[in-house]
Amino acid sequence: MIVTTANSAIEPPIDDPDGVQKNISLASPREEDRGRSAKASRANGQPRRDKRDVHGWVVLDKPIGMTSTQAVAIVKRLFQAKRAGHAGTLDPLASGGLPIALGEATKTVPFVMDARKRYRFTVCWGEERDTDDAEGRVIMTSEIRPSAEAISALLPGFTGSIEQIPPQYSAIKVQGERAYDLARDGETVELKSRIVEIYHLAIVDQPDSSHTVFDAECGKGTYVRALARDIGRLLGCYGHICALRRTLVGPFGEADMIPLEQLEALCDRAASGEGSLADALLPVETALDDIPALAVTRADAARLHRGQAVLLRGRDAPNCSGTVYVTVAGRLLALAEIGNGELIPKRVFNLTGLTASSARSHESV
């Protein structure tokens, strides 16, 4: 949804929004130090790769066997980015969408973390494991193999708002320590159940009596491994996940994912002048698809950039309240709150540097 402030019309695009010069002036005291560092690197025969401002999202199609932390480090290195982070851990056993935020996109990570996620996963029946996936130790076994009909009959009970106990090997904190650290030390802890949302859960394939493939869409905090564990227990056959792929994270679907090999190839082409890493970026505001956009004038943009509120006046003033993302001449400016007739800035963006190409920006609209 796009609305405009009532007190004036949108003005023509501006080349540099307020704050660009601030970035330059803040960086300038370090120029001498950077020069000395570069000389030292050249003296050692190892050219120094300076970090740069890169802003946007890379939705990596994470391969199996790689941790989310490793994936972020690789993408950060490929882009030579100053800042990077991910929007939701994906286990090493899992593949699929890992949204990685670069630069100013890190300010929008919470919007993706809170969004729905979709998974396709395979449950292996007959064994329960202490990690609830194939990497764990077998703790229970059964000769029973469930029919598709028996499984389907249970699925309504795992749809909607349900109580779920996280796996022992999870990132839940227990008295300041991660549950998985305690589990590795041989401790068994009582994890409290929590309410999670399962919007969709269905069988998509049953290749043999020992394996069933599911598709699930769920909310924040849901453990798919716990679904496999709990369904297996109710069926009396036990079960654990042996394959897991994330196909959706908020606004990011499979069409947005880029395999690591493709990203590395693009990086090599960009280094030789045959392409641009901007082609792999999605705009920062892609993460904000579910909140309204508010277009303001250059004068209002200057006030917001200084951290000052803007009055929303006139009959055309937006009648909504809550969080909006603010643009000026089509460019992302800030996250703000509307309340009591004012637009109050909460997070201001400085998109100076490498950003998504115009083609990717157009695709995201």
Residue type, 191: L
Q: How far, in Å, CA of 104 to CA of 115, rounded?
A: 19
Catalytic residues: 91
> What are phi and psi for residue 154, nearest 5 degrees?
-85, -20
Provide the CA 287 distance to its chain's centre, in angstroms: 8
The answer to whether 107 and 335 have CB atoms below 8 angstroms apart is yes
CA distance 89 to 70: 11
Residue 306 makes CB contacts below 8 A (sequence gap 6+) with 18
Inter-CA distances, 28 with 22, 188, 234, 289, 307, Å: 10, 54, 64, 35, 23
Which backbone phi and psi does 327 adopt, to 5 degrees?
Answer: -125, 155
Q: Which residues share a beta bridge with 249?
A: 117, 252
**Sign, CA torsion 106/107/112/114:** positive
Residue found under tokens 């100053």: 82
Quote the CA–CA distance of 116 and 277 in Å, as a whole number. Answer: 28
Q: Which residues pair with 337 in a beta bridge?
A: 323, 344
